[in-house]
Amino acid sequence: MGVCDAIERREAAGKPAAMSAPHVPKVAGIDPTVPAPAHTATPGPGIPAAASETGTPIQDRLAGWVSDLTTLHELTERLARTGTLDEALRELLRAGASLVGARRGMAVLEPADGHGPTATIGLGLAHADLGTIETVPRSATSYGRLLDGLPGGPLPEPRPSLADRRTPHDHGAEGAADTPTAAPGAVAVPDLLGDEHLDPRHREVAARLGFAASYAVPLTTEGDGRLGAAVWLYDEPAEPDGRRRHLVGLYGQFASGHLARLLELERGRAEIAALTEELLPTRLPRVPGVRMAARQVAGTLGGGDWYDALPLPEGALGLAVGSVCGTGPGAVAAMGRLRASLRAYAVMEGEDPVAVLSDLELLLRLTEPARSATALFAYAEPARRRIVLAGAGHAPPLVVGDRRTEYVETSLSAPLNMLACWEAPSVDLDVEPGETVLLYTDGLLRRMGGSADSAFTRLHAAAASVPKADRDDPATVVDHVLRRVLAAGEDAADRDDDEDVVMLAARFD
């Protein structure tokens, strides 16, 4: 056969039937179709020509499954990297919108046990828009019925979309058996403006905000029950087909489990924060000649950072900050014991800070030999503006005034319980009228990230940048410094948000 004969036979073959075979629609913006191989000539006698037509739907279906699994894997990995409830809810809305083909939505976190926390997050909706939606009677909204478990009502029950109802006719009995179903408990309202059974206020709000359809899914787990609901809003009358419903249902199951874990962590952090707040001073004492302010920024895991200020005989004042190693309830409990012990030692021998810390080190070594801690105690005489202080492995205080902003040179020493017997010389400090002494814990340095030298430099720069007009108020000084040093900077990747931060300021008149 010559070249011309081959060309004639190739032209006679025409467009292969495999190229015009039906393809499944895109899912989540990914086209799962795989082109079937095209023949260059008419099959010879005795070779069944329908073989490629039979295999094409199977290949397309397998390609669709692979695409779905890839999409879910990417979206669930992104969700798993979120570490807070707020971040998880926002990622849930973004991923769900891509799966159901919507542009806006809202997620409501409302655990069924009533113990909180609760939150409402919007996607493409301003805070005022969320408030407008909340003016609709709760029982008339799809997410409200999901949260309250209300059966029946004017909202349509979950049902196959129009595309799903056409599937059995397009692909036969086998295709009908493989048609994905909607997520359990999901509610689709394909035409909010045209459904006369809906609450009039619901239709009014939908028209005002410019959405015409919604699709809502519950966020629930077997062990924790109902955690909340997510609803996505369409600009035009629409509803997701069965395949998209199936995908968002699977994603919602994973998201519910992730939210349940984050909810448990959030409640644990809240309990530790409440316990820490109870163990710290409820208010600072009033001592003539000095004004004080304190701030505590809790870490994500809860730690043992603390502060204290107590009046002593003859108009003196005891100032202390410290940090117990570790995190969680154990560290918080140890912090409470250490702070109470230091108060007792300060009352007995506060004029000698070295003796106070030596007694504290002995107590810690005898009662908790496996735990270490840092501490700084200062004995202040406001009338003389004189301070005697000693530190055990603790960062030096910072003096802020109109004429100077400098660290106090303290002697180097190991943390408590790190040596057989702790003892380090004390340091005398004279402060000028209007100067503020800042005592802080090491967690502040670790929160800033980077090296220790860069952290000290940033802290010094923040203290020096306090406007002169604000230096009369110790609370304003503390807030300014913390705001500057805890803001995200070039070392944001090295920041450790698990660390507690404590700062105590004393301004001498």
Task: Please give the Cα distance from 264 to 271 (Å, whole number).
Answer: 11
Give exposure, 453-485, as e/b (b: 16+ Cβ within 10 Å): ebbbebbbebbeebeeeebebbebbbbbbbebb
Per DSSP, 440 falls in state E
From the list 416, 410, 386, 406, the residue with the least C-alpha distance to 396 is: 410
Q: How far apart are CA 448 and CA 450, in angstroms?
A: 7
Secondary structure (3-state) at 2? coil
Pairwise CA distance, residues 6 & 40, whole Å: 10
* Residue type (1 letter), 99: L
DSSP H/E element including 365 = helix 353-367
Type of residue found at 91: E
Q: Give dist(CA 487, CA 485) in Å, integer.
A: 6
d(CA 417, CA 374): 9
Domains of the chain and CATH, by start: 3-63 (no CATH), 84-266 (3.30.450.40), 280-508 (3.60.40.10)
At 149, phi and psi to the nearest 5?
65, 35
Query: Measured between alpha carbons, how far is residue 322 from residues 14, 319, 360, 395, 429 in Å?
Result: 84, 11, 12, 10, 20
Q: Please check whether residue 331 is in contact with residue 324, taking contact to mean a CB–CB distance below 8 angstroms.
A: yes
3-state secondary structure of 358: helix
Distance between CA 67 and CA 244 in Å, rounded? 12
Secondary structure (DSSP) of 206-239: HHHHT--EEEEEEEEETTTEEEEEEEEEESSS--
Tell me if 255 sits within 8 A of 183, measured CB to CB: no
Please name the amino acid found at residue 87.
E
Q: Are 495 and 485 in contact (CB under 8 A)?
A: no
Q: How far apart are CA 478 and CA 295, in angstroms?
A: 7
| Contact (CB, 8 A) for 414 and 422 | yes
Query: Which strand (E) or helix (H) includes residue 444?
Result: helix 442-448
pLDDT confidence of residue 449: 81
Distance CA(248)–CA(270), nearest Å, equals: 31
8-state DSSP, 34: -
Distance, CA of 463 to CA of 481 (rounded, Å): 6
Query: Rounded distance, CA 37 to CA 127, Å?
Result: 53
* pLDDT for residue 46: 47
Q: Is 50 exposed, middle or buried (0-12, 13-18, 19+ CB in 10 A)?
A: exposed
Separation between Cα atoms, residue 201 and residue 386, nearest integer Å? 69
Q: Token pair 């505590």 is at which residue?
A: 296
User: What are the tens digits of pLDDT across the range 35-47?
Assistant: 444 444 444 444 4
DSSP state of 335: H
pLDDT at position 57 is 82
| pLDDT on residue 54 | 54
Per-residue pLDDT of the chain (509 residues; tens, 9 = 90+): 443 443 344 334 443 333 333 444 434 344 444 344 444 444 444 444 444 455 678 888 888 888 888 999 999 999 999 989 999 999 999 999 999 999 999 999 999 998 889 999 999 999 999 999 999 999 899 898 898 886 543 344 444 444 444 443 333 333 333 444 445 688 999 999 888 888 999 999 999 999 999 999 999 998 888 999 999 999 999 999 989 999 999 999 999 999 999 999 888 888 877 777 778 888 899 999 999 999 988 776 667 899 999 999 999 999 999 999 887 788 888 888 999 999 999 999 889 999 999 999 888 888 888 889 999 999 999 999 999 999 998 899 999 999 999 999 887 788 888 866 666 789 999 999 999 999 999 889 888 888 889 999 999 999 999 999 999 999 999 999 999 998 854 455 555 567 789 999 999 99
Q: CA angle, corner 441, sides to 436 and 444, nearest 5?
A: 95
pTM over 0.85: no
3-state SS assignment for residue 331: helix
Q: Give the single-character DSSP code of 423.
A: -
